[in-house]
Structure 1
Amino acid sequence: MIQELILLCLAAFAAGFIDAIVGGGGLLQTPATLLILPHYPVASIFGTVKIPSLAGTTVAAYKYSKQVKFNYKVLISCVVAAFCTSLLGAYSVSMINNAVIKPVILVVLIAVALYTYFNKQFGIHQHKAHSLQKQILLAGFFGLIIGFYDGLIGPGTGSFLILVFIAVLGFDFVGASAHAKIVNMATNLAALLYFSSTGHVLYQYAIPMALFNILGSFFGAKLALLKGNKFIRIFFLIVVFGTILRFAWDVLLK
């Protein structure tokens, strides 16, 4: 158990660091936990990783909140929608075949990577493309979709949220990362409420992982705020590319 715990804590630290900058930490943490604890049900793994994810995201959100001004109307719309559908997604884990969803996500990710790479100004400057009312409606709409995805599958949620806040709502990378952390807190909490109520949380692993995820998130958020939009853009591309490889493996090779 000690060896398993050490490996899980290292994965949690790395996940927290990545997640604080551009999201997508779950792409490392969830597969690592599945690999290290193969004898537990998938639902128990999903429930367990929600605790470190929630802890790390909360710390990152706090760090961002001290330097970023939040658009609370847009944020609340997205948070409420995402929280509700994340509960539904967690409930649906055992009823929906992930193999149907993953090819669609793979295509979307490739398009995101190409657009971000060729559009050098993507997320570098904030611009308001819509009225506040339209921003609120769009935030709620995409919150519904991404919240459901986080409850159902999870990995990559932070990156998808950042993409929506930049490409759809007109935020820059720093602002998008800050807002995404708050929404991701809500989706993690909703899924955790469901998994814990059904006995699918391994607390002996989840609590130590949470401490290391917090540590990684602290350093990741600090680095992101120090380096700014251009650094986050590069990091975002790296994480999206890694996400593409992960989903391509699942879709094409498994």
Structure 2
Amino acid sequence: MLDALILMAAALAAGFVDAIVGGGGLVLVPALFSVFPQAAPATLFGTNKGAAIWGTAWATAQYARRVTLPWGTLLPAAAATLLGSLAGAWCVTQLDGAWLRKALPLLLLGLLAYTLARKDLGREHRPRWQGRREAGVASLIGVAIGFYDGFFGPGTGSFFVFLLVRLLGYDFLNASASAKLLNCAANASALTLFAATGHVWWGWALLMAAANVAGSLLGTRLALRHGAGFVRGMFLVVVGGLILKTGWDAWLR
């Protein structure tokens, strides 16, 4: 019972953070490793995906009701994300990703510094392109971050949000809403692979999914109510947390 309460609380918090700006894995994955220290990492990652995908899908649906999503741009990008995630998942079985673990905190630090330096970044929604050009750039973002998600994973949602703001000219609210669909594609791809290899504890995943959806509902409502400035602030907090967590794992542990 105590394990269930810990994991449901972590799933609730993860759903809340994920719905606003991504980064819920920063909360839920360490909780899973804490409760099940002897379990295979692949099983815990798969169980995390089995729980998180429901909250992400719920957030996508909630944003779609209140934010005008560019479906002509996002659907090709989601397909590219799915393919990139599959390729990344395959590559992780062939290549050593230890170098990426050490580089990630530095990449996130650069992203944080850039966002802080550009005070106006993501505050206004000014898409740079339309039609096929926007879909093409979004698809490149999707395949690149999808590959990263399949190969390594931490901070995927935050990378999606940042690149949609920086490259497409979205504000943080529209970027977060759009990133949810792309994150769903990446999660679905990874979950399919984990499920096919028997690395998902479905009982735990579904239990956590209920709490994850509840957190997602709360996070989505707050983001829609308070707008791009609030999402930007949460983005900075989450990226700061990711820097501390990934830096500790890569350099200090």
CA distance in 2: counterparts of 1:113 and 1:129, whole angstroms: 22
Map Cα deviations across residues 30-75 of structure 1 (whole Å, 9 max, x no partner).
1221222111111111111001110000111111011111112220
In the other structure, the counterpart of 2:16 is: 17
CA distance in 1: counterparts of 2:252 and 2:191, whole angstroms: 31
Contact map agreement 1:74 1:135 (CA 8 A) in 2: yes
3-state SS in 2 of match to 1:130: coil
In the other structure, the counterpart of 2:165 is: 166
3-state SS in 1 of match to 2:116: helix
In the other structure, the counterpart of 1:96 is: 95
In the other structure, the counterpart of 1:224 is: 223
Contact map agreement 1:86 1:150 (CA 8 A) in 2: yes
Task: Map residues 179-194 of structure 1 onto 2, 5 A cutoff.
Answer: 179-194=178-193
Contact map agreement 1:90 1:195 (CA 8 A) in 2: no
In the other structure, the counterpart of 1:31 is: 30
| TM-superposed deviation, 1:17 | 0.2
In the other structure, the counterpart of 2:104 is: 105
Change (3 A) 1:107 1:134: farther
| TM-superposed deviation, 1:88 | 2.6
Give unmatched runs, 5+ long, in structure 2. none
Map Cα deviations across residues 87-132 of structure 1 (whole Å, 9 max, x no partner).
2323344443332112332222111111111211111101132353
Contact map agreement 1:24 1:158 (CA 8 A) in 2: yes
CA distance in 1: counterparts of 2:113 and 2:136, whole angstroms: 27
Give unmatched runs, 5+ long, in structure 1. none
CA distance in 2: counterparts of 1:97 and 1:25, whole angstroms: 25
Confirm or deny that 1:156 pairs with 2:155: yes
Give the partner amino acid of 2:118. Answer: N
| TM-superposed deviation, 1:133 | 2.9
TM-score by length of structure 2 reads: 0.95
CA distance in 1: counterparts of 2:224 and 2:50, whole angstroms: 24
**Bigger mean CA offset, 97-106 vs 15-24:** 97-106
Contact map agreement 1:91 1:194 (CA 8 A) in 2: no
CA distance in 1: counterparts of 2:91 and 2:198, whole angstroms: 16
Tell me how large the CA RMSD over aligned residues is.
1.4
| TM-superposed deviation, 1:157 | 1.1
TM-score by length of structure 1 reads: 0.95
Give the paired residue count.
253
**Bigger mean CA offset, 128-137 vs 116-125:** 128-137
CA distance in 2: counterparts of 1:124 and 1:151, whole angstroms: 30
Change (3 A) 1:179 1:145: same
